[in-house]
Chain A
Amino acid sequence: MIVVSNVSHRIGRAPILTDISLTLEKGGVTALIGPNGAGKSTLLSLIARLTPLQAGTITVDGLAVATTPGRTLARRLAVLPQDSAIDARLTVTELVGFGRFPHGAGRLTDADRAIVAASLQRFDLGDLAGRFIDTLSGGQRQRALVAMAHAQATDYLLLDEPLNNLDMQHARALMRTLRELADTERRTVLVVLHDINHAMAHADRVVALKDGRIAADGPPAAVAVPDVLERIFGYAMRVVDVDGDPVVLHHR
């Protein structure tokens, strides 16, 4: 369980998050949505201790992120940062292998290798395994980075706008994989998304931020309501029902 209590954050004088409290039960996919500058990425970075906490507390399975050793936390929680430009020349296999870094200090064991192989397969990277990541396309590199986070084999998986750089086909594939991880491997996924329909289609719970506060929180059906969406995003949009799923016509 991830518990965020009374977290506030500012950059310089600008308030980014104001008194956020949020509890994420184990299991399921939670999507963080909201307009640019709402504080989604900051909240995710704070939970993943990529950004130091300024006020409030965050615990992961009872471990305070501010004080728990990085390695201990890395065995429970993996994160895909938004801007993870990597210019080191590593092969895809090597990169995914570093997902095992928190679990052992030395060489990979056979068990580690098996996990790496499974991650490569899960993200359809078999053909690219021996390629250097600087020779991959943006989308392929993104998949390799997600595979690395997956190979970390943590209960919690945090992803900051993972659909950036992905075409429609791979965006859909990634979201379905995240869904599958939650369903079959009992992982807890927290994902920052820009595409609201991906959130509606794949998440169990949608948390919307606006101006550093939680503006809506609930199952997709509860958030995909014109009034709620207008409150979050600032303009009216239609929501239509397609075979029982809400689809937001945000682009019309």
Chain B
Amino acid sequence: MTSAALVSPRLYGVFAASVLALFAASLVVGAGSGTAALLLPSRLPRSLAALLAGAGLAIAGLVMQTIARNRFVEPSTVGATQSAGLGILAAAVFMPEAPIVLKMAAATLTALAGTALFLGLARRLPPTQPLLLPLFGIVYSSVVGAALTFLAWQADLLQFVEIWMNGEFSGVVRGRYELLFAAALMVALAWWAADRLTVAALGPAVATGLGLDLAATRRLGVVIVAVVSALTVVVVGALPFVGLVVPAMVSRLVGDNLRASLPLVALGGAGLVLAADIAGRLVRYPYEIPVGTILGVVGALVFLWLLWRGQHG
């Protein structure tokens, strides 16, 4: 809101250029490289999907951290991802022929409910221990995940759960990934509400004093988180920790004024997922490693680092 001028324009330039370079690399790297026949129907959708999902998830993480006032939460640790899985499972069981948009709607609804339930339960936690919230969130997520596994197993759809819960871009093709452009819409929505979200992060008393409708802002935030989670789970599968890692890094660089940091978070998320996807294609060439697996390792390492830095000093 105030001085985005504090952030040097060069930083935005560096981020944008990196994402562009990664995007270009993503178009040409991998098995059967370089043929034009592969480029349009497969590589372009794949790279766009990684870009959009990464940006969306990083923003969802940022928004979640802002409304929960806690740096250690993100969609996959507040049950949003797993609840979205419940929605698609329900759609797959009760309306298997439904178009993907309807399944997406079902996933969004359950993600909304799951995230709202988490925030409701989280209010019972003592606010003095900030680490209790992510701990609670991770276990809450695994409980929802266990419910998902059990129901899927009853419905004999277990193999789909594995696909939904572990993101992979190799299956991305035209006709399906376009849904992810809605993630860009959510990024725009977050940008539009950036000042309100930052004020919400100042705490209920200050926010109320400044005349913010805190409840409405929280609702908006939950919608952004739920829609992005549902989108990624439906189209590419869960990508853990993107929403945790990227906002944390950007916060260290430029602080928490969303008006200044939000574009960097979106670019950072896009870059991280593109890079992880490229790495997944190269590590065991010509086979592919799912991007969700790589992000799980990288994300958990960064999570540990975030937890322990500053604990000894």
Which A residues contact B (CB, under 8 angstroms)?
48-50, 69-75, 78-81, 83-91, 93-94, 96-102, 105-108, 116, 130, 132, 145, 148-149, 152
Contacts and interface: CB of A to CB of B under 8 A. Distances in A.
B202 A102 contact: no
Interface of B: 1-3, 6, 69, 195, 198-199, 201-206, 208-213, 251, 255-257
Given A93-B3, A97-B3, A102 B206 contact: no
Q: 9 smallest A-B Cβ distances: which pairs?
A: A74-B211, A97-B2, A81-B205, A71-B211, A89-B255, A70-B211, A79-B209, A88-B256, A102-B211
A132 B255 contact: yes
Given A75-B211, A78-B209, A108 B202 contact: no
A83 B209 CA distance: 13
A130 B195 CA distance: 19
Nearest to A92: B2
B203 A86 contact: yes
Nearest to B195: A101
A94 B256 CA distance: 10
A70 B208 contact: yes
24 contacts: A48-B209, A50-B205, A50-B208, A69-B211, A70-B212, A71-B212, A72-B211, A74-B210, A79-B205, A81-B205, A91-B6, A93-B3, A94-B2, A94-B3, A94-B257, A98-B1, A98-B2, A98-B198, A100-B1, A101-B1, A101-B195, A101-B211, A105-B195, A145-B206
Contacts of A86: 202-203, 206
A221 B114 CA distance: 60
Contacts of A100: 1
Nearest to B3: A93
Given A101-B195, A107-B1, A94 B209 contact: no
Contacts of B256: 88-90
Contact of B209 (A69, A72, A81, A97): A81
A31 B195 CA distance: 33
A48, A49, A73, A94 pick with most chain B CB within 10 angstroms = A94
B258 to A, nearest CB: 10
B1 A88 contact: no
A84 B211 CA distance: 15
Contacts of B210: 74, 98-99, 101-102, 152
Nearest to A78: B209
Contacts of A90: 198, 255-257
Given A70-B208, A79-B209, A90-B257, 14 more contacts: A48-B209, A50-B209, A70-B212, A70-B213, A73-B211, A74-B210, A84-B203, A84-B206, A88-B256, A89-B255, A93-B2, A94-B257, A101-B210, A108-B1
Nearest to A68: B211
Contacts of B198: 88, 90, 98
- Report which residue of A69, A70, A75, A132 has the largest number of chain B beta carbons within 10 angstroms of its beta carbon: A70
B199 A74 contact: no
Nearest to B259: A107
Nearest to A81: B205
Nearest to A87: B69
Nearest to A73: B211
Nearest to A103: B211
